[in-house]
Amino acid sequence: MNTYSKRKRQMKIIDAHSHIGNFGSWARFDFDVDRLKDQMSEFDIEKTLLTGEGPSGNEAVVSAFQREPDLIVPVAWVNPKSSTVLADIRRFVEKESFRAIKLHPLFDAYCADDTFVDPVVELAGELGIPVFVHSGHPPYSLPWQIGWLAERHPSVPIVLLHMGHAHGVYVDAALKVARRYPNIYLETSGTSMSVKIREAYDTVGHDRVLFGIDSPFHEPSVEIEKSRATHLPESDLRNIFHDNAARLMSLFQ
């Protein structure tokens, strides 16, 4: 066992954001349940909040959850422009035990704060589940757009995936909107600076920063070390790596 493996076994982890599917076009790679299981075993990941490769990938997540119900927390990626989106959400949540909704305004080409997103978020509130939203790319998924969405739905937990992503200005904006709107949570995958993860933890809230990998797009060891590089005490790191996601998703036994 290498030094990293010895160190990483000291901390339980919930990965708040990963995917399975065949990612073509510019990405040109895929990731399946077997590879996910191997990754979870290698890095002591207790549970993964899992989405597919797009709205068409939800059935693959259904199958993955049926196969590995103790490892996977299913999340439905939906497109609010679809005429069947509300019925789809109800089916996935009520029939297939999905626990959250994911929106990807960049991938599906709509503005995060558009009013046609409101019925999806309203239904999430009715069903008592959070909404995860990709952030960090103009013109569709900028943090302040997601902030305006959160402002209209103050009782619904909304997670900014990537907390602004790799652009420092957008990362800073993600922290600002999260400080303004208490229903906003920040997820760490792909974000650019450990110091901003630390700032988020110190100024947004100890309960509103979630660790994520965004497999297969990011390397788990890098994402783990990026959060460890905040130099927070182990008890605080446990909030980021595990307890905050467990509380948000009601995963504590």
For residue 46, what pLDDT is reported? 97
What are the CA-CA distances from residue 121 to residues 89, 131, 199, 243 (Å)? Answer: 11, 7, 28, 24
* Distance between CA atoms of residues 15 and 227, nearest Å: 12
User: Which residue do the tokens 């110091």 mark?
Assistant: 195
User: Which residue do the tokens 């700032």 mark?
Assistant: 199
For residue 27, what pLDDT is reported? 64
DSSP secondary structure code for residue 226 in this structure: H
In the chain, % of residues over pLDDT 90:
90
Length of the chain, please?
253
Phi/psi for 97 (5° steps) reads 65, 30
Residue-wise pLDDT tens digits, 24-82: 677 678 899 999 999 999 999 999 999 999 999 999 999 999 999 999 999 999 999 99
Residue 1 has pLDDT above 90, yes or no: no
Residue-wise pLDDT tens digits, 235-253: 999 999 999 999 999 997 5
CATH homologous superfamily, domain 3-248: Metal-dependent hydrolases (3.20.20.140)
* Distance between CA atoms of residues 253 and 245, nearest Å: 13
β-bridge mates for residue 22, sequence order:
30
Say how many C-beta atoms besides its own lie within 10 A of residue 67's C-beta: 12
Residue 4 has pLDDT above 50, yes or no: no
For residue 6, what pLDDT is reported? 45
- Is omega for the bond preceding 216 within 30 degrees of 0, making it cis? yes
For residue 98, what pLDDT is reported? 98
Residue-wise pLDDT tens digits, 8-26: 556 899 999 999 998 767 7
* Distance between CA atoms of residues 14 and 211, nearest Å: 7
Residue 162 has pLDDT above 70, yes or no: yes
